[in-house]
Each structure stands twice: as structure tokens, then as C-alpha cells.
Amino acid sequence: MHSHSYGETNNNPNKLIIEKLQVLLDHYTRMKDEWRILSYRKAISAIKKYKKPITSYEEAKKIPGIGLRTAEKIAEIIDTGNLKRIDSFSEGDDIIKKFGNVYGVGPSIAMKWYTKGHRTFEDVLKDEKLTRNQISGILYYDDLQKRIPRDEVTKISEWVTRAALSIDPKLECITGGSYRRGNPDCGDVDIMITRNDSDGTTHLGVLSRLVEILRDQGFLTHELVQHNGESLSAKFMGICKLPEGVHRRLDIFMVPYNEMGAALLSYTGNDIFNRSMRLMARKKKMCLNQHGLFMNVSRGRDGIKYSEGKIIAQKTEKEICDALGVPWR
């Protein structure tokens, strides 16, 4: 359908008018402005059917489906080749996009700030009640937008590993995410930590101590979230900085030793790979998550789980891939 309407526009004598009105339509679609969406849709389809070049306001006004306001806009496009409104929209789009890129801010909050008249981070900091995460996201915005070169990820991982091993030399630290997939640069650093518990010792409580050490070193500059503080699956999200570097996002996941395969799969990704693996599991009446691959998971009609079911595989990635019938490399 899309390519069909493109073709139509390319041969249309009013191509420029259609393109400009389409930008308005796209904008109002994002703003969910039902009336204007309807009116620009009608206008665009009317112009697509009109086979002569429109040369004046009077002519535009007479075309069925085109209202007076739209006819004025068409006249502006005919006279100047441009629409002033569009320039202010695309500037608005840039601001909304920038707000939405802040750590802890989604598209709807970004839109809300913009609608309230905020145009800069200063406006937001002055007038909005922000979460701590959002404040850090704004303060370190420029740093956090930058990709991290692979060798800096290596250095950050080494720093964290060194601190971890000073707590317990039997801890194992593996950097996952895009780094483990071999990317030349990464958005953040994702580190998994586990410990072989066959000697009767686990890594319980290690994360809190690790965070304390990294904080005292001045390496952690912000602590954003810490989940399940006292469990073997504790998680940390924060911002760190090497002495010579800029601020970087750092996630640390503690993983029970027997779940390491499932965690490696899940925290390495990418997200599309994870989604298709999980879908494949569901098609075989199994359930895959960061803890393992389970059988006989009972779900309600809404898809929500009643029980975890019986564990099939979790210790190694190969074991999980074998159980799903996916080749392991």
C-alpha cells in the first residue's frame, strides 16, 4: 500500500503540496489530534485525485475535501515552496526526542514536558519534580549518549573484576551484552558475577560489598537501582567513570551458579534473539527466562504463569540450546 501511494505521489503534479501536508499529518498523528488527522487525510487524498497543478488559493478552496485552513496552507506552499509550521514542528520533534533519550524518561513523559512548554533541560530541572534517575540522566546526558569503545568496556570490566576478586578470589565475572556479541562499541557495560558453590560457599552478600568498594574508589558516581539486595540474583544499575574517562552506564547481575547458562543467554542477547528463543520455547510448551528453561509451566488464558514447572536446563548455554533444538556455536 505504501509503495503504491508513493508512486502516485511521484507522478502527481502537486507532489510538493502532498509532501508538506504529509509532514503535518505525521505530526498530528504523533500528537493524536484526531480532528486534524482526519482533515489532512481527506485533503491529501483529494489532492492525489486532482490531476492538474493547483496554482492558487481560489482553486484549492474549490476542491472537495479541502477546507479553508488547508487551502491557506496550500497557497503558502505555492507562493514560498515552504510551510513555516513544519519548521517549528521538526524543532519540537527534536526536543521531544532528546527528552525521551534521558535515562528514566519514556516517550509519554517527554511529550508531557514538551506540552507544558519546556524546551531545555534547565526548564525541566527548574519546574519538574524529577526522580533521582532522571536527574542523573539529565546531568550526564551528553556522556551517556556516547557509545563506549570496546577497549574502554574491557577496562571497566577489569576494574570491576579486580574489586570483586578482592572480596572473594573464587568469583567469576563475565561481561555480556553487546560486548560478548563482539560489537566494536557498546551502549553500556553488562557484567554477570557468579561463584562455583560446590565448596559450600556462595556469593550471597557480595554485591553490596562490591558496590561499597567501587563507591569508595570514586569509580561509581551514581547508584540508580539495586534490586534483590540480599539474594543470589541481586542486580545493580548505576553510572561509573574511569579516572581518564567519561560517565558510563554500568549494570551488574549476580547469578546463582546453576543458572549461569540461562543468564549468559539472556544477558548476551540481543533482544531479538532472546525474543525468538523464548517464543520457540513457548511453542514447545516450555518457558525460557534468565533463570532457566522450564517444562509444564501452567498458564491461565491470559498467558500469566500459575507455576514455574519443572526445570529442564539452566547450567550451560549448550544444554539449553540442545533442549530447544537450536544449534549451539
Catalytic residues: 73
Shortest distance, CB of residue 220 to Mg ion, whole angstroms? Answer: 17
Q: What, of ligand DCT, Mg ion, none, does residue 270 touch, CB below 5 to 8 Å by kind?
A: ligand DCT
Give CA–CA dist 65/50, Å, rounded.
11
**Between 67 and 187, whose beta carbon lies closer to ligand DCT?**
187
Contacts to Mg ion by CB under 5 A? 177, 188, 190
Residue with cell 570496546: 150
Separation of CA 210 from chain center: 27
Q: What is the DSSP code (8-state) at residue 46?
A: H
**Between 18 and 265, whose beta carbon lies closer to ligand DCT?**
265
The Cβ-side half-sphere exposure at 190, using a 13 Å CA radius, reads 18
Contact of 217 with 205, CB cutoff 8 Å: no
Shortest distance, CB of residue 219 to ligand DCT, whole angstroms? Answer: 19
**Between 75 and 255, whose beta carbon lies closer to ligand DCT?**
255
* Interacting positions 238-267 with ligand DCT (CB under 6 A): 267
* Interacting positions 173-192 with ligand DCT (CB under 6 A): 177-178, 186-188, 190
Residue with cell 492558487: 56
Q: What, of ligand DCT, Mg ion, none, does residue 253 touch, CB below 5 to 8 Å by kind?
A: none
Nearest to 215 by CA among 183, 240, 188: 240
Would you count residue 157 as binding ligand DCT (CB under 6 A)?
no
Pick one of 154, 202, 274, 316: the residue that binds ligand DCT (CB under 6 A). 274
Give CA–CA dist 54/70, Å, rounded.
13
Q: At what angle do helices 84-100 and 107-115 cross, to 10 degrees?
A: 130
> For residue 307, what are the β-bridge partners?
298
Shortest distance, CB of residue 224 to Mg ion, whole angstroms? Answer: 15
- Contact residues for 312 (Cβ-Cβ < 8 A; gap 6+): 286, 292, 293, 294, 295, 323
Beginning with the edge strand found earlier in the chain, give each strand of the sheet holding 235-240 in spatial order.
Answer: 171-175, 189-195, 248-254, 235-240, 220-227
Give CA–CA dist 313/324, Å, rounded.
10
**Between 160 and 293, whose beta carbon lies closer to Mg ion?**
160
Q: What, of ligand DCT, Mg ion, none, does residue 136 touch, CB below 5 to 8 Å by kind?
A: none
Would you count residue 152 as binding ligand DCT (CB under 6 A)?
no
Shortest distance, CB of residue 8 to ligand DCT, whole angstroms? Answer: 38
Would you count residue 271 as binding ligand DCT (CB under 6 A)?
yes
Q: What, of ligand DCT, Mg ion, none, does residue 271 touch, CB below 5 to 8 Å by kind?
A: ligand DCT
**Between 27 and 241, whose beta carbon lies closer to Mg ion?**
241
* Chain residues in the site for ligand DCT (CB under 6 A): 177-178, 186-188, 190, 267, 269-271, 274
